Copies of this chain bind each other. A is one copy, B any other.
């Protein structure tokens, strides 16, 4: 299989399940992509990430271009080999993180100049350089270079930013070239303005991509506003290509996005939460540093089959968090990633079997019960 293809297996309402095939393996959709910012999913061995059920990781172009550098990674055989992950990798374009992390950003029609947050060194990203960097990394799914305005922003700012991103999308497509087995995804922008989302979707369809992302959401607008947008935005994108909602999210965000027709998502939440003592379970959030867990012999979730739940008590997880031990972040990250992948697997099965609504009702009912009572 040397092609990048997307096959839709079933739909249930707007929710979809299917499979992306790539030369590096299949991606079952809906898919959650753990984030491996600096060539590692923090606190995890890549074998363990795979064990949680992840088919694909996300890498951050901005971080990797600054350290250790894209040319260096290319010389070392590419990102897959460098980080010991032989399955698909999606890289973002760097645009969003330049805007949120870099210093002294200067935007013009051609691209953006900025200084590294690590050492202050000067860099430039444009559609052409972003495509080149993602090629050097060896990314399987390359994201078009775009600009994402911080919200709230006025309509004119959102419109002009979206139109710039569409011009950059066309330049990204041209610069990407012909790379069988690799995919370029365009990114819809337009904030919460339906007509701008439509204009953006039409511009992207005109250019033509192997997949389509929904950008500019999960940037502080709140779940209700995001869901309102997701009620129409996915339907503007081609039905026969994967739809990727960038940077989402909490478990209930993910479920709501899948319900509305999203096929792929990514978020640092499970790994970041894991390092700060926050666990996500079927019953909602558990703050393991809370003193109520100090003597609790029960696992985080008795139904969970991850190593943290199989072999350790809440009391242990509490202790190692309080003692600042690395195994705390290791176990909680593993649990969180496992839980996120479990939701995805359950949703894929529910959509296949036409029972997504019932699954979703159960998901919300279990969360509403809240965490188990203290002993």
In the complex, the answer to whether B322 meets A67 with C-beta atoms within 8 Å is yes
* Given known A84-B312, A294-B68, A311-B84, contact A38–B76 (CB-CB < 8 A): no
The residues of B that contact A246 with a CB separation of less than 8 Å are none
In the complex, the answer to whether A38 meets B326 with C-beta atoms within 8 Å is no
Interface presence of A75 (CB below 8 A): yes
Interface presence of A39 (CB below 8 A): yes
User: Complex formed: what's the CA distance from A45 to B334 in Å?
Assistant: 12
In the complex, the answer to whether A297 meets B77 with C-beta atoms within 8 Å is yes
Q: At the interface with chain B, which of A190-198, A280-288, A313-321?
A: A313-321
Copy total for this chain: 2
In the complex, the answer to whether A68 meets B311 with C-beta atoms within 8 Å is no
Interface presence of A218 (CB below 8 A): no
* Given known A313-B82, A326-B329, A330-B330, contact A319–B42 (CB-CB < 8 A): no
Interface of A, secondary structure class, is: loop
Interface presence of A152 (CB below 8 A): no
In the complex, the answer to whether A76 meets B313 with C-beta atoms within 8 Å is yes
Interface presence of A370 (CB below 8 A): no
* Given known A76-B295, A76-B315, A295-B75, contact A38–B325 (CB-CB < 8 A): yes
Given A40-B320, A68-B318, 7 further pairs, Cβ under 8 A: A42-B325, A45-B330, A68-B294, A68-B322, A72-B315, A76-B316, A330-B330
A-B contact pairs, 23 of them (CB 8 A): A38-B319, A38-B323, A39-B319, A40-B325, A40-B326, A43-B330, A45-B307, A45-B330, A67-B322, A67-B323, A68-B294, A72-B295, A72-B315, A75-B295, A76-B295, A76-B316, A77-B297, A82-B313, A84-B316, A326-B326, A326-B329, A326-B330, A330-B330
In the A-B complex, list the 6 residue pairs whose CB atoms are closest, starting with the nearest.
A68-B319, A84-B311, A40-B327, A43-B326, A38-B323, A40-B325
